[in-house]
Amino acid sequence: MKRFLISSVIVLSCCISAIAANISYKNMTITVFELSGTAQIINGYGTSGNVVIPATVPYNGVNYKLTSIYEEAFSDNTKITGVSVEGENLTEVGEMAFCNCSALASISLPNSVTTIGNKAFAYTAITSIVLPENVKSMGTGLFYNCSSLESVTLPKSITRIPNETFYDCSSIKTLDIPEGITVIGESAFVRCGALTKVKLPSTLVTIEKMCFYLCSNITEINFPKSLRTLGDYALYEIGVPYLLLPEGLTNIGSSALHNIKSAQSIVIPSTVTRLYEYVFSGVTEMKNVYLRAPQVITLNSSSAQPFVSIRTKVRMFAPEDLIEQYKDTSVWSWFKYYYADIKGDANGDQVLDVSDVNAEINLLLGKDTGEFAAGSDVNRDCAIDISDVNETINLLLGK
């Protein structure tokens, strides 16, 4: 029996050798698979400069389609500066395929690519990249610590931005996330320090924990009506002047809005009924908070800690019939000033008049720093525009 097993192993090895062979081609080690007619780059460490990935590889008079780059194939090659791909045969870029190629500044991928593995381009010097429209699977940490990366075009074929995709990409300034994305993964944009403007898609449901952690220069970000969850530390220390959180949002995680020092006003939508630990810690410039839930929001003592230094000056706006309940509820009673949330009362003076229209116009013209932003979103669509001005005018006219 033992002899039979040994013989079987030898035969199997011979069969594998007969259908797969490693060859050297253009300073790369490539495996060709005779049965499938395909080839795979397994080692590109001998390459330098601008590397061209061929569409086919010749072997024994046959051209094999090069369909994949194996994991770590070019990893730690500090001599390559660019990568381009011939033809439309390449379908997969393996895990860490170009990781730590510190001189790699440009890479062009064909639309045939459908899979890109974890950290495939991490720690490279790429400045911009267009990901193919047919990519269905993206690994985590794809551009981890690509500090020179300024521009990325994401494919419309994906529904999730994986964890740590742009971790420490400190040169990205603006980002449009395509429609169809429903989840932005954990730590996806940690320490993207140059990021100033983020456009979120109308399909987004979840922003996972630490997503925009320490993106302190973000001054503009929209929140779509589809959003349901803000994870723990999701917006930690972003630099927005105000926060208009959408109706439909149900979960704001612990410390989700921690250290947003520049925010002067915020809307907590009617669909949020509980706030967790330290959710507003460090909001030192906060002036106006709008609580829109139809019942008193559950708030534990630690959640109120960030307001300790400003609780005597923060103005709390709530449904008129809940004001006395807030004043009588533990923790919420710490706050000194409560006012009725009156639709159209942009400046919060409890009177609906032309001064509210002026407050909204000043905000649109950039003359207001954000103090009256929460009250200016009259139609509650998480955007302040001319439609809010028109609605306030209609309210004044009794329409």
- Could you give the dihedral angle defined by the CA atoms of residues 201, 253, 363 and 359, in that order, rounded to the nearest 10 degrees? 130
- CATH number for the domain spanning 108: value is 3.80.10.10
In a domain? residue 237: no
Please tell me the distance from the alpha carbon of residue 163 to that of residue 143, in angstroms, as a whole number: 11
In a domain? residue 61: yes
In a domain? residue 370: yes
- In tens, the pLDDT along 362-375 reads 989 988 778 889 99
Question: Count of domains in the chain?
Answer: 2
Higher-pLDDT residue of 396, 279? 396
- This prediction has a pTM of 0.91
- In tens, the pLDDT along 319-350 reads 999 999 999 988 888 888 999 999 999 999 99
Residue 118 DSSP class: T
In a domain? residue 350: yes
- Which of 117, 135, 158 is the C-terminal boundary of a domain? 117
pLDDT at residue 304, rounded to an integer:
58
- Which of 74, 101, 117 is the C-terminal boundary of a domain? 117
In a domain? residue 98: yes
In a domain? residue 212: no
Nearest to 283 by CA among 374, 385, 379, 366: 374
- Which of 66, 92, 117 is the C-terminal boundary of a domain? 117
Question: Cβ neighbours of residue 173 under 8 Å, at least 6 residues apart?
Answer: 150, 194, 195, 196, 197
Q: What mean pLDDT comes out for the span 27-33?
A: 98
251 forms beta bridges with 229
- In tens, the pLDDT along 119-150 reads 999 999 999 999 999 999 999 999 999 999 99
In a domain? residue 37: yes
Query: Is the pLDDT reported for residue 95 higher than 60?
Result: yes
In a domain? residue 75: yes
pLDDT, averaged across the chain: 91
By residue range, what is the domain housing residue 349? 344-399
User: By the 8 A CB rule, do 127 and 100 touch?
Assistant: no
Residue 85 DSSP class: E
- CATH number for the domain spanning 380: value is 1.10.1330
